[in-house]
Amino acid sequence: MSDSPKIIYTLTDEAPFLATASFLPIVEAFAGAAGVALETRDISLAGRILARFPEALAPEQRVTDDLAELGRLVLKPEANVIKLPNISASLPQLKAAIAELQAKGYALPDYPDVTRGDVALINIKARYDKVKGSAVNPVIRQGNSDRRAPPAVKAYARKHPHKMGAWAKDSKTHVAHMDSGDFYASEKSATLAQAGTLKITLHGVDGKRQVLKDGLQVQAGEIVDGAVMSRRALAAFIDAQIEDAKAKGVLFSVHFKATMMKVSDPIMFGVVVSEFFSDVLAKHGAALTQAGFNPNNGLGDLYAALAKLPAGQQSTIKADIAAEYARRPALAMVDSARGITNLHVPSDVIIDASMPAMIRDSGKMWNAAGERQDVKAVIPDRSYAGIYAAAVEDCKANGAFDPATMGSVPNVGLMAAKAEEYGSHDKTFQIPFAGTVRVTDEAGAVIFEHQVEAGDIWRMCETKDAPVADWVKLAVSRARLSNTPAVFWLDPARGHDAQIIRKVERCLKDHDTAGLDIRTMTPEDAIRFSFARIRKGQDTISVTGNVLRDYLTDLFPIMELGTSAKMLSIVPLMAGGGLFETGAGGSAPKHVQQFLAEDHLRWDSLGEFLALAASFEYLGRKYKNARASVLAAALDQATGKFLETNKSPSRKAGELDNRGSHFYLALYWARALAEQKDDAGLAAVFGKFAAALAGDEAKIVAELNGVQGKPVDLGGYYRPDMARVGAAMRPSATLNAALESLHAAA
């Protein structure tokens, strides 16, 4: 990769990838006409898998490791990356992608569930595990997050408010969390005085000793913390919640982050599955395990294992499953029509998508009959469960929020240099035997230690000093620019947060905070404070750590805008470059399902429009590229027109979908460029182009909408056939010809 100024566009997965296949040719034509260089990099799940096993592939099948390349780029001041949502793969998704690639002729090894000390299998598993979960974001997010609703988007949401469900004051919906034995209760933290190396060791009660991690490089001023989740306490808690849900007549649901927390949360999900189906597993667990069942992969994995057993045995187990269902509370459903429950697949119920949707929709979830019902939302660890509990209680007391009048809660999030990666990295372990986990420095001094039992989950995370200072600086800057109160969501009773609070207080002294309202509150108090303000139409900046950043940048946008895909997400990289993100992808699988069934993609690319404009603006400002600045200003104007005229995708086949929304964005963008006075050359080129699009508007829309209503075969889900994708996402010959003409004119 050369160091010349350019925009790097990421190719990802599912609905965002399909949308890019339609939108990127438009971007390339506009950027090319303005002389702005644009390149793509593949960070899809399939692309990441293939990059891990070059030796298993034929020469023509091998791919470059684009994620690693981007990881190097974001450490340089010239980085300008547009990052779309990608799959953070759970194990079932990873296995499905491997199977699809194998069926396409890629000689990849199977994922080894059990390695039994085999060095080759251990190596294969380790390479696949590098792809699993939130594998992309820690590599390229080398800066802290600035995420907010742009004024035009907020104005549109107020003018055209989305539907919110009405809350009943006597709603039975509630959040349940542990009161002891969780990560919150056990967290210990320390700020290191000097650089060095740490070792994590498990000392067994019977004298056994196992090094869990050695040679861990740390920096001076870095915060390290450790915590343990008791499996025994978790199982007892889940049992109690199952019984309570049955007694109260509410749906039982669990909410984890099994993608971002790729080590810890699937294990906890597996405990829930095991406890809910305890009778079935007591009787048939050995046979199901022999057939490949792993509770961590969910009920779907149980049914897959069941299908491998003899017919008679299947019938017996199915009868026992039915009996288990009958004595348990009803499960919340992911897809009532298909019988997919809350416990089927860990990646189906992601807390930052499922909880905001439930809060928006009257505090109810779907039951097996396809009806809304009050629910027990089980979030075991107390670290952040309280924010959702407070949200539920606020809605019970005050009713649903009104998107037409409510304020906004933008976020400044700490995430640079892999800050606060709880449960998602190589420092999280399921404990094999009882004893003590000790973290020691190179001199052998104990930093902290925890008593553990077999099956417990022990985790450690790191937060380096420089990202915290940068985060505080960004928070002060945003508070000053927007004249908005900024609240650090930190709990002094938590070991980690206590260390962060000290750093925040120190860093704030380095900035001019005169006249600013900057305060620190526990997450529960902070959400109550923010809720009270947004109900009055007032804005409040949330300044949070990495996990709360992830949760809040879905919670508030889903209530304010109806979706988190419409947020502007900028990551000022610490090396001086920029990363521009395009919104969340939690709904992407459902959009793909509809597209494959009826050739209608309702994915909204608004976040992509916003990120692209910010990227052009950054390029123009940093490199004094006047044409990039003109593109940015015109795109912002076009996006405003796009919102005013309501050209977002419809949910119904036969009407305007994602492809049609791209056409109108192109039309409005071209008009804005034709009418601007800063660059006569661009005005002339785009004046002709805009006239051509306007003249053929009816024809183009008819071509885009006319293909809808029938199934689509893309030749794959994780690695679709690019020719089929191109044909499906660019069905208007008239629009395609116009874009080719624009290329030629440039």
Return the structure tokens found at 561: 């805008």
Average pLDDT, rounded, for the chain: 95
Degrees to nearest 5, angle at CA 624 with 622 and 628: 90
Residue-level pLDDT at 4: 54
At 518 the three-state DSSP class reads strand
Tally of CB atoms within 10 A around 426: 14
Residue 546 has pLDDT above 60, yes or no: yes
Angstrom distance (rounded) from CA 463 to CA 471: 12
Residue-level pLDDT at 1: 38
Residue-level pLDDT at 282: 97
Could you tell me the CA-to-CA distances from 504 to 221, 472, 492, 514, 520 in Å, in that order? 13, 7, 12, 16, 9
When mean pLDDT is compared across 7-11, 258-262, 446-450, 607-611, the lowest value belongs to: 258-262
What is the mean predicted confidence (pLDDT) over 174-197? Answer: 98
What is the mean predicted confidence (pLDDT) over 557-565? Answer: 90
Angstrom distance (rounded) from CA 55 to CA 109: 11
**φ, ψ (nearest 5 deg) of residue 677:** -110, 5
What is the mean predicted confidence (pLDDT) over 625-630? Answer: 96
Residue-level pLDDT at 584: 67
Tens of pLDDT, residues 468-517 = 999 999 999 999 999 999 999 999 999 999 999 999 999 999 999 999 99
- Identify the band that residue 585 occupies on the pLDDT scale cut at 50, 70 and 90: low
What is the mean predicted confidence (pLDDT) over 694-717? Answer: 98
Residue-level pLDDT at 3: 45
Angstrom distance (rounded) from CA 115 to CA 688: 63
Spatial contact of 523 and 387, defined as CB atoms under 8 Å apart = yes
Angstrom distance (rounded) from CA 594 to CA 693: 28
Spatial contact of 591 and 598, defined as CB atoms under 8 Å apart = no
Angstrom distance (rounded) from CA 1 to CA 81: 13
Angstrom distance (rounded) from CA 259 to CA 273: 17
Which residues make Cβ contacts (< 8 Å) with residue 335, sequence separation at least 6?
A: none
- Identify the band that residue 520 occupies on the pLDDT scale cut at 50, 70 and 90: very high
The better pLDDT of the pair 581, 2 is held by 581
Find residue 488's DSSP bridge partners.
Answer: 520, 543
User: Strand locations in 554-639, DSSP E?
Assistant: 568-572, 578-581
Angstrom distance (rounded) from CA 268 to CA 384: 16
User: Strand locations in 382-540, DSSP E?
Assistant: 411-413, 428-430, 435-441, 446-452, 457-463, 486-489, 518-521
When mean pLDDT is compared across 154-163, 384-393, 427-436, 538-547, the lowest value belongs to: 154-163
At 222 the three-state DSSP class reads coil
Residue-level pLDDT at 565: 80
What is the mean predicted confidence (pLDDT) over 448-476? Answer: 97
Angstrom distance (rounded) from CA 646 to CA 557: 19
At 148 the three-state DSSP class reads strand
Residue 259 has pLDDT above 90, yes or no: no
Angstrom distance (rounded) from CA 665 to CA 606: 10
Residue 97 has pLDDT above 50, yes or no: yes
Tens of pLDDT, residues 304-338 = 999 999 999 999 999 999 999 999 999 999 999 99
Buried b (16+ CB within 10 A) or exposed e, 676-708: beebeebbebbeebbebbeebeeebbebbbebb
Residue-level pLDDT at 564: 85
Residue-level pLDDT at 421: 82
Tens of pLDDT, residues 130-161 = 998 888 988 999 999 999 999 889 999 999 99
Tens of pLDDT, residues 186-207 = 999 999 999 999 999 999 999 9
User: In terms of DSSP bridges, do strands 7-11 and 38-42 run parallel, antiparallel, or are they unpaired?
Assistant: parallel
What single letter denotes the amino acid at residue 727?
A: A
Cα R_g (the chain), whole angstroms: 26
Residue 298 has pLDDT above 90, yes or no: yes
- Identify the band that residue 347 occupies on the pLDDT scale cut at 50, 70 and 90: confident
